[in-house]
Chains A and B, each alone.
Chain A
Amino acid sequence: MSVITIERKVLEKNDEIASKNRELFQHNGLFVLNMVSSPGSGKTSIVERTLEYIKGKLSIGVIEGDVQTDFDAQRVAKFDVPVVQIITNGGCHLDAKLVHDALGNMSLKGIQLLIIENVGNLVCPANYDLGEHIKVVVASTTEGDDKPLKYPAMFRNASVLLINKIDLLPYINCTIEVLKNNAFRINPALNIFETSCTTKQGIKEWCDWLEKQVKNNPLSVADH
């Protein structure tokens, strides 16, 4: 009987591939966001509204992650942007390797912003770095105002919280101040935007902020 000391991070392999992705993004002057949320919060609708608003100002690529079907890629393809669908076949999250492989099916040349829409799941994607610049967590009002406290890891790792479906607030039991307050208890540095993909309220503010981040990316292809 003998003991072997290992002292290694369990997800180090994922982190290594995420670093490679990050180098690739930097090399190509890409700003990358990883969009996470529970299923049905409106991630794909936000991607659509974002493309609608920002497409003339930035060149965008999209990677869609789903357990099954390419429905989301079909929705995004209507905006005439490069899109790759990752089907995880049961996997509950995207990992750096899946994204790395997907990048091989996409021309990154000229793209300034890459949106990765993760698998709908408020738990597992939190642990997997994809090499992105920022994580954007979407919480819709219909999910209730307690989600940040129930799923803290996802909110801790995010830079942005999009509170979606705010047009439904009059009909449901969700207090936006409570939701924000709960989110700040987990992550005081969160940038919060309130959005509705139906009325388009808040989309401009979110997109203007995002455009600024992309343009501030020191290696942005726009500066080349």
Chain B
Amino acid sequence: MHELSVAQSIIEIIQQHVPASDLTRVAAVRLKIGAASGVVPESLEFSFQAIIADSLLDHAKLEIETIPFRIHCNTCKTTTEDNSGIVLCSSCGSTDTKIISGLEMQINEIEITESELEKL
């Protein structure tokens, strides 16, 4: 369950980016999470919701873009997608492959809103 500490890291980074104001609220957090990153999106969502109460993120939506695990084969030059994390080329069986994507764990952007202004 390291998703809880991942969620805490996300909130710490966001707090560094949000302008200091009592009225500012984060409406959405957009992440890129690789399919082979070891993070379970559902668990991350659960952990995130559990720790944002009474903070500037307390109504934030977590929007997770899952990035597929892709490898490129240096032998047969094909790129294949297989979220199982296997790095043998599924076309020719070569071990000479390179991971192109699927290990990401990145905060892309956030959407912020001024809560009091919206009420007016």
Q: Which residues of A contact B (CB under 8 A)?
A: 1-14, 91-93, 95, 123-124, 126-128, 149, 152-153, 156, 184-188
Determine the chain B residues whose CB is within 8 A of the CB of A92 once the complex forms: 1-2
Determine whether the beta carbon of A1 is less than 8 Å from that of B37: no
In B33-68, which residues have CB < 8 Å from any A CB? 36-39
Tell me which of B12, B95, B110 contacts A3 (CB under 8 A): B110
Determine the chain B residues whose CB is within 8 A of the CB of A7 once the complex forms: 106-109
Determine whether the beta carbon of B87 is less than 8 Å from that of A186: yes
List 27 contacting pairs A-B, 8 Å CB cutoff, sorted by A: A1-B112, A4-B17, A5-B109, A6-B17, A6-B107, A7-B106, A7-B107, A7-B108, A7-B109, A8-B107, A9-B105, A9-B106, A10-B9, A10-B107, A12-B13, A13-B13, A123-B38, A124-B1, A124-B38, A127-B37, A152-B85, A153-B36, A184-B88, A185-B86, A186-B85, A187-B87, A188-B87
Determine whether the beta carbon of A185 is less than 8 Å from that of B107: no
Chain A facing B: main interface SS: mixed
Tell me which of A8, A13, A153 contacts B85 (CB under 8 A): A153
Most buried by B among A92, A124, A187: A124
In the bound assembly, the distance between CA atoms of A128 and B6 in angstroms comes to 10
In the bound assembly, the distance between CA atoms of A2 and B112 in angstroms comes to 5
Expressed in whole angstroms, the minimum distance between the Cβ of A152 and any Cβ of chain B is 3
Determine whether the beta carbon of A152 is less than 8 Å from that of B107: no
Q: Which residues of B contact A (CB under 8 A)?
A: 1-2, 5-6, 9-10, 12-14, 17-18, 27, 31, 36-39, 84-88, 95, 105-113
Chain B facing A: main interface SS: mixed
A92-B2, A152-B36 as given contacts; A186 in contact with B13, CB under 8 Å: no
Q: Which 6 A-B pairs have the closest CB atoms?
A: A152-B85, A124-B2, A188-B95, A153-B38, A10-B105, A6-B107
Q: Which residue of B lies closest to A125 (CB)?
A: B2
Determine the chain A residues whose CB is within 8 A of the CB of B85 once the complex forms: 149, 152-153, 156, 186
Expressed in whole angstroms, the minimum distance between the Cβ of B84 and any Cβ of chain A is 7
Determine whether the beta carbon of A6 is less than 8 Å from that of B38: no
Q: Which residue of A lies closest to B19 (CB)?
A: A4
Determine whether the beta carbon of B110 is less than 8 Å from that of A4: yes
Determine whether the beta carbon of A127 is less than 8 Å from that of B106: no
Expressed in whole angstroms, the minimum distance between the Cβ of A17 and any Cβ of chain B is 12
In the bound assembly, the distance between CA atoms of A184 and B87 in angstroms comes to 9
In the bound assembly, the distance between CA atoms of A92 and B5 in angstroms comes to 10
Determine whether the beta carbon of B1 is less than 8 Å from that of A10: no
Determine the chain A residues whose CB is within 8 A of the CB of B38 once the complex forms: 123-124, 126-127, 153
